[in-house]
Amino acid sequence: MTLGLINANPVVHAKKERVARTEDLHGDDAVDPLEIYDILLSVDIRDPEHPYSLEQLSVLSEESITVDDKLGRILITFTPTVQHCSMATVIGLCLRVKLKHYFPPHYKVDIKVSPGSHANEESVNKQLNDKERVAAALENPNLRQLVDECLYSNEL
């Protein structure tokens, strides 16, 4: 690719030490935010621009996931590395695809960029939560490939 990087020098944070979690994810009905965090990091979603994980770039943290078990709602708030990050929608798509397979279908997932973290916050949020546009994007071969690369880059 000849395009320059949008954020050539990202701040890289250390990966947190984590106690291995052994309990069955579907063992009980309650969903733990940390469980979701582990799922999202377990496949090491990559920022499309950098060989670092979303955790290392502080795109995601444990605090960015909230769960309302009673209502079956999951809210993920991520922080793009720069305010004009054009990859924000792709990262959001990746998070959605990743989570889809892990939870009972009645769970509703909302994905947003954290307040003030993106120049087009409102429009990015609207697009990420319009399920028709999400469905169409995932049927688009180019976008699908990009998402798959982000999700599975560590397996290449």
- Judged by beta carbon, residue 6 or residue 109, the one nearer another protein is 109
Residue closer to another protein by CB (options 24, 139) is 139
Cα→Cα distances 3→6, 7, 8, 51, 103, Å: 9, 12, 11, 16, 37
What minimum distance in Å lies between the beta carbon of 52 and another protein? 33
Least distance to another protein, CB of residue 124, Å: 14
Give contact residues for another protein (rule: CB under 8 A): 105-106, 108, 126, 130-133, 135-136, 139
Place of tokens 């305010």: 83
Looking at beta carbons only, is 63 or 130 nearer to another protein? 130
Which of these, 91, 17, 89, 21, lies nearest to 59 by C-alpha position?
91
Kindly give the residue spans of alpha helices, DSSP state H, lying in 14-74. 33-42
Query: Which residue's CB is nearer to another protein, number 1 or number 135?
Result: 135
CB of 59 to another protein, least distance (A): 26
* Amino acid symbol at 59: V
CB of 130 to another protein, least distance (A): 7
**Interatomic CA distance for residues 125 and 118, integer angstroms:** 10
